[in-house]
Amino acid sequence: MTQQARLLMAATAAFILSLVAQAAAQDADWAKVIEAAKKEGKVVLYTSTQGVEFHNQALRSFQAKYGIATELLDVRASELDQRIQTEQTSGRYVGDVLQHGEASALRHEQNGVFQPYISLPNFQNLQQIFKEKSSKVRVPIYVSAYGLLINSELVKGEDEPKSWRDLLNPKWKGKIMADDFRALGGGSVWFDVMFGALGREFHEKLAQQNIVFSRDVGNDQRRVARGEYPMRLPQHYSNFPQLEGLPVKLVQPVEGASYVQFDTGVLKNAPHPNAARLFIDHYIGETVQVIYANNALVPVAMGISEKADPRWRSITGAKLLGTSAPERLDAMLAAAKEIYK
């Protein structure tokens, strides 16, 4: 063996040893986080997705694994923002972890509402795109996609829209129900994405179809099932499993689905900061990611779709067309108000 080869071997061994040592140190550090989290004994989750069952499933899995109590505060986005703002300005800190739509989470990040999560062992398992979309204080946890809901008794066979452009067919005039594009929510995200993908002209033509707006999402799905309207958009993929057994079908038009990414982060001055870090790591780990996939959400970690319920695989692997950008929100809401008077 030459001198050079010996040197190369020694360097390689040193490098491997340093990696092992680093990993061991990280493991030891993380073990300390777990220990500290258990001492804190509790974690309080604030989220803007209200009343969904997957929260309870995910919380139970965390409690079962670590024996740490969890408390959930699930309210509507505006009410959550109001609380966060009030707690942070008054110094009465109650929440530990915040889960929110990407646009709102970004705004909170800019306002300094989060503190760094430092490191998370499961972060390395995230899909590359979601690693890139994360920051030092914010991590994506799942994606909620939207399609088109149709009444399968009123819209049959070749009438079924294949493309979003098929909604412009005159036969659907006055028959399309939609979540209001002029208000913040699924409707405004869909408006923004279609504005980018199909242009303003598409919306101007769609406005001629006399869209019926309603914001009572849970009930509106049922109104389509009852035959009040033959179709509704945009339809949360994750709401669709609850409609199994009703005469409705979820259509995924060829262009793809609009979506909202949900992010999470540790709140500044969280009363239980270690439990909060452990909690977020658990949420991007396999157990919770599979729970999300089984609830028709798109997971952010790698290798989850194949472990999910086969019924929802087409949804968890759905073609994603785009989402709304926070910097465009005001302009898009104004455009929607102008087009859909």
Partner 1 sequence: MLGLGLILAFLAIYPLAMLLYGSLHSTPPGMAGEFNLDGYRRMATAENGLVLFNTVVMALINTVVSLALAIFLAWIIARTDTPGRGVLEMLLTLPFFLPPVLTAMAWGMLGNPQVGGINSVWRWLTGTNTTIINVYSYFGVVWHMMQYATTFLFLFIVDAFRAMDPSLEESSRMSGASLFQTFRRVTLMLMLPVITSAFTLSLIRGIESFESPLFFGTPVGIRVVTTQVYDAINQSARPDYQYATALALAVMGLMFLLVLMQWRILGGRNFTTVTGKGYRPTVTKLGPWRWATFAFCILFFFITVAMPVGQLFVGSFFKFFGFYSWNMLTLDNYAKVLRNDEFRRGFQNTLLLGVIGASATMVLGGLTAYVTTRTQLKGRRIIEAMAWTPWMMPGIVLGIGFLWGFALLPGPIQIYGTIWALLLAYMTLYTPISVRVMSGAYSQLGYDLEECSRVHGGSWWQTFWRILVALAWPSFAVGWVLVFFGILRELSASILLFSAGSEVLSVVVLKLWTNGRAEEVCVIGLFMMALVILFRWAQSRFIQRHINTL
CA–CA separation, 72 and 220 (whole Å): 27
339 lies in the site for partner 1, by CB under 8 A: no
Crossing angle of helices 186-207 and 329-339, in 10° steps, is: 40
Q: Which part of the chain contacts partner 1 (CB under 8 A), choosing from 9-17, 128-136, 140-148, 238-246? A: 238-246
Residue 54 Cβ vs partner 1, minimum distance, rounded to whole Å: 11
CA–CA separation, 23 and 42 (whole Å): 28
The one-letter code for the residue type at 160 is E
Q: Which residues pair with 329 in a beta bridge?
A: none
Structure-token pair, residue 111: 């306002």
Using CB under 8 A, which of 136, 200, 222, 311 touches partner 1?
222
Closer residue to partner 1 (CB): 5 or 171: 171
Using CB under 8 A, which of 62, 164, 229, 259 touches partner 1?
229
Centre a 10 Å sphere on the Cβ of residue 227 and count the other Cβ atoms it contains. 11
44 lies in the site for partner 1, by CB under 8 A: yes
212 lies in the site for partner 1, by CB under 8 A: yes
Using CB under 8 A, which of 185, 234, 285, 299 touches partner 1?
185
Residue 98 Cβ vs partner 1, minimum distance, rounded to whole Å: 13
CA nearest neighbour of 31 among 272, 265, 274, 271: 274
C-alpha pair distances (Å), 221 with each of 82, 149, 250, 297? 29, 8, 11, 18
Residue 45 Cβ vs partner 1, minimum distance, rounded to whole Å: 8
The DSSP-derived string for 11-54 is HHHHHHHHHHHHHHHHHHHHHHHHHHHHHH-EEEEEESS-S-HH
Q: Which part of the chain contacts partner 1 (CB under 8 A), choosing from 26-34, 84-92, 125-133, 273-281? A: 84-92
Using CB under 8 A, which of 34, 38, 61, 83 touches partner 1?
83
Residue 225 Cβ vs partner 1, minimum distance, rounded to whole Å: 7
Residues numbered 107 to 166 that lie near partner 1 (CB under 8 A) are 107
Structure-token pair, residue 106: 């970004």
Binding site for partner 1 (CB under 8 A): 44, 50-52, 71-79, 81-83, 85-87, 89-90, 92, 94, 107, 180, 182-185, 212-219, 221-223, 225-229, 239, 242-243, 245-246, 329-330, 333
